[in-house]
Amino acid sequence: MSRARASRTRASRSRASRARHVAALALGGALAVGGCAAGGSTAQTPRPAGDTAAAFHGQEPLGEVPARAAFVLRDTDGKRYDFARETAGRPTLLYFGYTSCPDECPTAMADMAAALRTTSSSLRGKTRLVFVTTDPERDTPQVVRRWLDQFSTEAVGLVGTQQEVDAAQAAVGLVPAQQTGPVPTLPGRPDAHEHAEGTVPHRHDGPLGYGVGHTDVIFAFDTDDRMPVMYPGGTRPSDLAADLPLLDLGDAS
Protein backbone atom coordinates (compact mmCIF):
# COMPACT_ATOMS: atom_id res chain seq x y z
CA MET A 1 0.00 0.00 0.00
CA SER A 2 1.33 3.45 -0.90
CA ARG A 3 2.01 5.98 1.85
CA ALA A 4 -0.72 8.26 0.42
CA ARG A 5 -3.27 5.45 0.45
CA ALA A 6 -2.24 4.36 3.94
CA SER A 7 -2.60 7.94 5.18
CA ARG A 8 -6.06 8.17 3.61
CA THR A 9 -7.10 4.87 5.19
CA ARG A 10 -5.88 5.92 8.65
CA ALA A 11 -7.69 9.26 8.34
CA SER A 12 -10.89 7.54 7.25
CA ARG A 13 -10.74 5.07 10.14
CA SER A 14 -9.98 7.86 12.62
CA ARG A 15 -12.91 9.89 11.29
CA ALA A 16 -15.20 6.87 11.57
CA SER A 17 -14.06 6.22 15.14
CA ARG A 18 -14.68 9.83 16.17
CA ALA A 19 -18.06 9.86 14.47
CA ARG A 20 -19.13 6.64 16.20
CA HIS A 21 -18.09 8.06 19.57
CA VAL A 22 -20.07 11.27 18.97
CA ALA A 23 -23.09 9.34 17.72
CA ALA A 24 -23.01 7.02 20.72
CA LEU A 25 -23.03 9.99 23.06
CA ALA A 26 -25.92 11.54 21.14
CA LEU A 27 -27.90 8.32 21.01
CA GLY A 28 -27.51 7.81 24.72
CA GLY A 29 -28.39 11.34 25.73
CA ALA A 30 -29.35 14.33 23.60
CA LEU A 31 -30.68 12.13 20.81
CA ALA A 32 -33.93 10.95 22.37
CA VAL A 33 -35.61 8.44 20.11
CA GLY A 34 -39.16 7.35 20.81
CA GLY A 35 -42.77 8.45 20.37
CA CYS A 36 -43.62 11.41 18.19
CA ALA A 37 -46.18 12.94 20.48
CA ALA A 38 -45.12 15.89 22.61
CA GLY A 39 -43.47 14.65 25.76
CA GLY A 40 -43.58 11.07 24.55
CA SER A 41 -39.91 10.53 23.70
CA THR A 42 -37.74 8.15 25.67
CA ALA A 43 -33.95 8.21 25.60
CA GLN A 44 -32.42 5.09 24.11
CA THR A 45 -29.03 3.56 24.83
CA PRO A 46 -27.37 2.24 21.67
CA ARG A 47 -26.50 -1.42 21.32
CA PRO A 48 -23.19 -1.88 19.46
CA ALA A 49 -23.41 -4.05 16.37
CA GLY A 50 -22.54 -7.70 16.97
CA ASP A 51 -24.05 -7.92 20.45
CA THR A 52 -27.17 -9.75 19.22
CA ALA A 53 -28.19 -12.15 16.48
CA ALA A 54 -29.36 -9.23 14.35
CA ALA A 55 -26.41 -8.57 12.07
CA PHE A 56 -26.75 -4.83 11.70
CA HIS A 57 -23.51 -2.89 11.31
CA GLY A 58 -24.83 0.25 13.02
CA GLN A 59 -26.15 1.16 16.47
CA GLU A 60 -29.28 -0.68 17.56
CA PRO A 61 -31.56 0.83 20.24
CA LEU A 62 -32.12 -1.16 23.39
CA GLY A 63 -35.67 -1.93 24.39
CA GLU A 64 -38.63 -1.21 22.16
CA VAL A 65 -37.67 -0.34 18.60
CA PRO A 66 -38.85 3.21 17.72
CA ALA A 67 -41.57 3.63 15.12
CA ARG A 68 -41.09 5.33 11.76
CA ALA A 69 -40.81 9.10 12.27
CA ALA A 70 -43.81 11.29 11.44
CA PHE A 71 -43.33 14.76 9.96
CA VAL A 72 -44.48 16.76 6.94
CA LEU A 73 -42.28 18.94 4.71
CA ARG A 74 -42.12 19.80 0.97
CA ASP A 75 -40.11 18.04 -1.70
CA THR A 76 -37.96 19.81 -4.28
CA ASP A 77 -40.96 20.00 -6.64
CA GLY A 78 -42.86 21.97 -4.01
CA LYS A 79 -45.24 19.11 -3.19
CA ARG A 80 -46.34 18.21 0.34
CA TYR A 81 -44.35 15.22 1.59
CA ASP A 82 -45.72 13.26 4.54
CA PHE A 83 -42.64 11.23 5.46
CA ALA A 84 -44.42 8.46 7.37
CA ARG A 85 -47.05 8.02 4.65
CA GLU A 86 -44.77 8.33 1.62
CA THR A 87 -42.19 5.86 2.92
CA ALA A 88 -44.55 3.45 4.72
CA GLY A 89 -43.68 -0.20 4.18
CA ARG A 90 -40.41 0.61 2.42
CA PRO A 91 -36.79 0.32 3.55
CA THR A 92 -35.78 3.94 4.09
CA LEU A 93 -32.54 5.77 4.82
CA LEU A 94 -33.02 9.26 6.28
CA TYR A 95 -30.34 11.92 6.77
CA PHE A 96 -30.50 15.47 8.15
CA GLY A 97 -27.84 17.87 6.83
CA TYR A 98 -27.22 20.84 4.57
CA THR A 99 -25.76 21.48 1.14
CA SER A 100 -22.99 23.80 2.35
CA CYS A 101 -21.71 21.13 4.74
CA PRO A 102 -17.94 20.84 4.18
CA ASP A 103 -17.52 17.06 4.32
CA GLU A 104 -19.86 14.95 6.47
CA CYS A 105 -23.12 15.50 4.54
CA PRO A 106 -21.82 14.89 1.01
CA THR A 107 -19.91 11.84 2.24
CA ALA A 108 -23.02 10.40 3.92
CA MET A 109 -25.13 10.95 0.81
CA ALA A 110 -22.47 9.47 -1.46
CA ASP A 111 -22.11 6.46 0.82
CA MET A 112 -25.86 5.79 0.87
CA ALA A 113 -26.11 6.16 -2.90
CA ALA A 114 -23.14 3.82 -3.37
CA ALA A 115 -24.73 1.24 -1.08
CA LEU A 116 -27.96 1.31 -3.07
CA ARG A 117 -26.14 0.86 -6.36
CA THR A 118 -24.74 -2.46 -5.16
CA THR A 119 -28.07 -3.95 -4.07
CA SER A 120 -30.49 -5.96 -6.21
CA SER A 121 -32.69 -3.98 -8.60
CA SER A 122 -35.83 -5.07 -6.73
CA LEU A 123 -34.53 -3.89 -3.36
CA ARG A 124 -33.17 -0.70 -4.89
CA GLY A 125 -36.61 0.03 -6.34
CA LYS A 126 -38.27 -0.39 -2.94
CA THR A 127 -35.80 1.64 -0.91
CA ARG A 128 -36.23 5.36 -0.29
CA LEU A 129 -33.28 7.67 0.27
CA VAL A 130 -34.42 10.92 1.94
CA PHE A 131 -32.43 14.07 2.74
CA VAL A 132 -33.82 16.85 4.97
CA THR A 133 -32.06 20.20 4.99
CA THR A 134 -31.12 21.70 8.35
CA ASP A 135 -30.38 25.04 6.68
CA PRO A 136 -33.69 26.32 5.24
CA GLU A 137 -32.29 29.86 5.00
CA ARG A 138 -29.94 28.90 2.15
CA ASP A 139 -31.20 25.54 0.93
CA THR A 140 -33.94 26.36 -1.54
CA PRO A 141 -35.61 23.44 -3.38
CA GLN A 142 -33.48 24.20 -6.45
CA VAL A 143 -30.23 24.25 -4.46
CA VAL A 144 -31.10 20.99 -2.71
CA ARG A 145 -32.00 19.26 -5.99
CA ARG A 146 -28.79 20.27 -7.75
CA TRP A 147 -26.73 19.18 -4.76
CA LEU A 148 -28.46 15.82 -4.39
CA ASP A 149 -28.09 15.04 -8.08
CA GLN A 150 -24.33 14.82 -7.54
CA PHE A 151 -25.01 11.63 -5.59
CA SER A 152 -28.40 10.27 -6.67
CA THR A 153 -31.13 11.60 -8.94
CA GLU A 154 -33.54 9.29 -7.10
CA ALA A 155 -32.92 10.77 -3.65
CA VAL A 156 -35.81 12.73 -2.17
CA GLY A 157 -34.89 16.22 -0.93
CA LEU A 158 -37.11 17.90 1.66
CA VAL A 159 -37.32 21.55 2.70
CA GLY A 160 -39.51 23.64 4.97
CA THR A 161 -39.61 26.60 7.32
CA GLN A 162 -37.21 26.65 10.24
CA GLN A 163 -40.04 25.61 12.55
CA GLU A 164 -41.01 22.71 10.27
CA VAL A 165 -37.43 21.53 9.92
CA ASP A 166 -36.92 21.70 13.69
CA ALA A 167 -40.09 19.65 14.18
CA ALA A 168 -38.83 17.04 11.72
CA GLN A 169 -35.57 16.73 13.66
CA ALA A 170 -37.50 16.41 16.91
CA ALA A 171 -39.55 13.59 15.37
CA VAL A 172 -36.43 11.39 15.33
CA GLY A 173 -35.16 12.69 18.66
CA LEU A 174 -32.56 15.11 17.32
CA VAL A 175 -31.73 18.39 19.01
CA PRO A 176 -32.34 20.97 16.23
CA ALA A 177 -29.23 21.97 14.30
CA GLN A 178 -27.74 25.39 15.05
CA GLN A 179 -25.72 27.89 13.02
CA THR A 180 -22.02 27.95 13.85
CA GLY A 181 -19.06 30.06 12.76
CA PRO A 182 -17.81 30.55 9.20
CA VAL A 183 -16.42 27.66 7.16
CA PRO A 184 -12.74 28.17 6.12
CA THR A 185 -12.54 28.49 2.34
CA LEU A 186 -9.80 28.41 -0.27
CA PRO A 187 -8.11 31.71 -1.21
CA GLY A 188 -10.25 33.48 -3.79
CA ARG A 189 -12.82 30.64 -3.69
CA PRO A 190 -15.66 31.44 -1.27
CA ASP A 191 -17.55 28.41 -2.61
CA ALA A 192 -14.75 25.88 -2.06
CA HIS A 193 -12.84 24.41 0.88
CA GLU A 194 -10.08 21.92 1.52
CA HIS A 195 -11.60 18.45 1.64
CA ALA A 196 -10.77 16.26 4.60
CA GLU A 197 -9.08 12.96 3.84
CA GLY A 198 -11.51 10.06 3.52
CA THR A 199 -14.39 12.23 2.27
CA VAL A 200 -15.88 12.40 -1.20
CA PRO A 201 -15.23 15.14 -3.77
CA HIS A 202 -18.20 17.47 -4.16
CA ARG A 203 -19.13 21.00 -5.14
CA HIS A 204 -21.18 23.74 -3.49
CA ASP A 205 -23.76 26.02 -5.05
CA GLY A 206 -22.53 29.31 -3.58
CA PRO A 207 -20.47 30.96 -0.84
CA LEU A 208 -20.12 28.74 2.20
CA GLY A 209 -20.47 31.45 4.84
CA TYR A 210 -21.64 30.04 8.17
CA GLY A 211 -21.72 26.40 9.18
CA VAL A 212 -24.57 24.42 10.73
CA GLY A 213 -23.86 22.12 13.64
CA HIS A 214 -25.87 18.90 13.29
CA THR A 215 -25.71 15.22 14.23
CA ASP A 216 -24.01 13.07 11.58
CA VAL A 217 -26.30 10.02 11.70
CA ILE A 218 -28.20 7.97 9.09
CA PHE A 219 -31.58 6.73 10.35
CA ALA A 220 -32.79 3.43 8.89
CA PHE A 221 -36.41 2.25 8.79
CA ASP A 222 -37.65 -1.23 7.87
CA THR A 223 -40.75 -2.46 6.05
CA ASP A 224 -42.54 -2.88 9.40
CA ASP A 225 -42.24 0.91 9.85
CA ARG A 226 -39.73 0.67 12.68
CA MET A 227 -36.28 2.16 13.15
CA PRO A 228 -34.12 -0.80 14.23
CA VAL A 229 -30.73 0.77 13.54
CA MET A 230 -28.86 4.06 13.12
CA TYR A 231 -25.49 4.59 11.44
CA PRO A 232 -22.92 7.12 12.68
CA GLY A 233 -20.86 9.05 10.18
CA GLY A 234 -18.05 7.00 8.71
CA THR A 235 -20.09 3.81 8.25
CA ARG A 236 -18.83 2.07 5.12
CA PRO A 237 -21.10 1.77 2.05
CA SER A 238 -20.47 -1.99 2.06
CA ASP A 239 -21.88 -2.22 5.59
CA LEU A 240 -24.96 -0.20 4.62
CA ALA A 241 -25.45 -2.42 1.56
CA ALA A 242 -25.13 -5.57 3.68
CA ASP A 243 -27.83 -4.30 6.06
CA LEU A 244 -30.38 -3.16 3.47
CA PRO A 245 -31.84 -6.68 2.97
CA LEU A 246 -32.40 -6.86 6.75
CA LEU A 247 -34.68 -3.84 6.46
CA ASP A 248 -36.77 -5.55 3.78
CA LEU A 249 -38.63 -7.89 6.12
CA GLY A 250 -41.02 -9.08 3.43
CA ASP A 251 -38.24 -10.39 1.21
CA ALA A 252 -38.31 -14.16 1.29
CA SER A 253 -34.92 -14.51 -0.42
SS3 track for the chain: CCHHHHHHHHHHHHHHHHHHHHHHHHHHCCCCCCCCCCCCCCCCCEECCCCCCCCCCCEEECCCCCECCCCEEEECCCCEEEHHHHCCCCCEEEEEECCCCCCHHHHHHHHHHHHHHCCCHHHHHHCEEEEEECCCCCCCHHHHHHHHCCCCCCCEEEECCHHHHHHHHHHCCCCCCEEEEECCCECCECCCCCCCCCCCCCCCCCCCCEEEECCCEEEEECCCCECCEEEECCCCHHHHHHHHHHHCCCCCC
Give pLDDT tens digits for 78-112: 999 999 999 999 999 999 999 988 888 999 999 99
- Host domain of residue 184: 3-247
In this structure, is residue 184 part of a structural domain? yes
Domain-embedded: residue 148:
yes
10 lies in some domain: yes
pLDDT of residue 206: 65
pLDDT for 246 beyond 50: yes
The predicted structure's pLDDT at residue 211: 78
pTM higher than 0.95, yes or no?
no
| Domain harbouring 46, CATH code | 3.40.30.10
Higher pLDDT, 33 or 95: 95
Task: Report how far residue 245's alpha carbon sits from residue 96's, in angstroms, rounded to the nearest whole number.
Answer: 23
Examine residue 253 and state whether it is found in any structural domain, yes or no. no
pLDDT surpasses 90 at 149: yes
State the pLDDT at residue 92: 97
Domain count within the chain = 1
> Is 252 among the domain residues?
no
pLDDT of 249 above 80? yes
